[in-house]
């Protein structure tokens, strides 16, 4: 059992992890952005470390700052919660390299299943039936539009690195695709640090 863990998240999930850790007698360290200095998850933990500006890409996605915070506070492990860094294989590897335990799946599993496009390629190779869609590496907006038109509307644009319901847009007609794609990519880069998307038939 760990003596102290750092929770690399905010909001309800961070509060739940902190409450469980407290019941187990494990000390907790919160991380927070400028906007979250007085947030509930900060108060729920034994210690708190500021990791950056309000935008997640400048704080909660800055994994080197989070690792530095864990080491500075003597945390033995990092719980990523969900979203943010929970499906980031580079972060899981960096934790191990820093001598910290990543409370989650191994980096190899994250690599295989963390990105929706990669997991779809694995399923396709295994002959698992898939919803019609496009999950290729080419992210050219014109290609994505053509693929959506080929699949037929309505389609769902999904952030490949997405999770927790973020980075999804329902598109009902072709003329709305470009704006929805731009919006989805913007949310994906801000929430997950990766703007790759896939397109699926909405069923």
Q: State how far the Cα of 114 lies from the Cα of 108, in Å rounded to an integer.
A: 9
What is the number of other CB atoms lying within 10 angstroms of the CB of residue 74?
12
Determine which helix (DSSP H) or strand (DSSP E) holds 47, and give its type and residue range: strand 47-52
Q: What is the pLDDT of residues 141-153, one digit of tens each?
A: 999 999 999 999 9
Which of the pair, 133 or 120, is modelled with greater confidence? 133
Model pTM greater than 0.85?
no
The domain segmentation of the chain, as residue ranges, is 4-111, 115-201
CB 31 within 8 A of CB 15: no
CB 40 within 8 A of CB 16: no
Percent of the chain with pLDDT over 70: 100
Peptide bond into 127 cis (omega under 30): no
pLDDT at 110 exceeding the cut of 90? no
Q: State how far the Cα of 52 lies from the Cα of 50, in Å rounded to an integer.
A: 6
Determine which helix (DSSP H) or strand (DSSP E) holds 168, and give its type and residue range: strand 168-171
Residue entry with tokens 């309505």: 154
User: Which range has the worst mean pLDDT, 34-38, 165-169, 176-180?
Assistant: 165-169
Q: Which CATH architecture has domain 115-201?
A: 2-Layer Sandwich (3.30)
CATH number for 4-111: choose from 3.20.20.150, 3.20.20.120, 3.40.50.20, 3.40.50.1100.
Answer: 3.40.50.20
Asked, colleague to colleague, whether 4-111 and 115-201 share their fold, the answer is no
Question: Would you say how long the chain is, in residues?
Answer: 203
Q: What is the pLDDT of residues 82-95, one digit of tens each?
A: 988 998 889 999 99
Q: State how far the Cα of 188 lies from the Cα of 164, in Å rounded to an integer.
A: 12
Helices (H), 24-133: 40-44, 63-73, 89-97, 107-113, 116-125
């Amino acid at each position: 059992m760990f003596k102290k863990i750092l929770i690399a998240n905010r909001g309800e999930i961070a509060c739940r992890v902190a409450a469980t850790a407290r019941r187990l007698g494990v000390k907790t360290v919160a991380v927070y952005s400028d906007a979250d200095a007085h947030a509930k998850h900060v108060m729920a933990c034994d210690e708190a470390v500021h990791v950056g500006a309000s935008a997640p890409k400048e704080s909660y996605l800055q994994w080197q700052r989070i690792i530095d915070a864990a080491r500075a506070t003597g945390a033995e492990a990092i719980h990523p919660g969900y979203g943010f860094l929970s499906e980031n294989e580079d972060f899981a590897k960096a934790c191990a390299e820093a001598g910290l335990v990543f409370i989650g799946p191994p980096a190899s599993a994250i690599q295989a299943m963390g990105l929706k496009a990669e997991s779809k390629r694995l399923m396709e190779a295994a002959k698992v039936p898939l919803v019609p869609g496009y999950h290729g590496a080419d992210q050219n907006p014109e290609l994505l539009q053509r693929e959506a038109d080929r699949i037929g509307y309505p389609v769902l644009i999904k952030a490949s690195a997405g999770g927790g319901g973020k980075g999804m847009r329902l598109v009902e007609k072709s003329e709305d695709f470009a704006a929805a794609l731009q919006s989805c990519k913007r949310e994906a880069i801000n929430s997950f640090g990766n703007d790759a998307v896939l397109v699926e038939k909405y069923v």
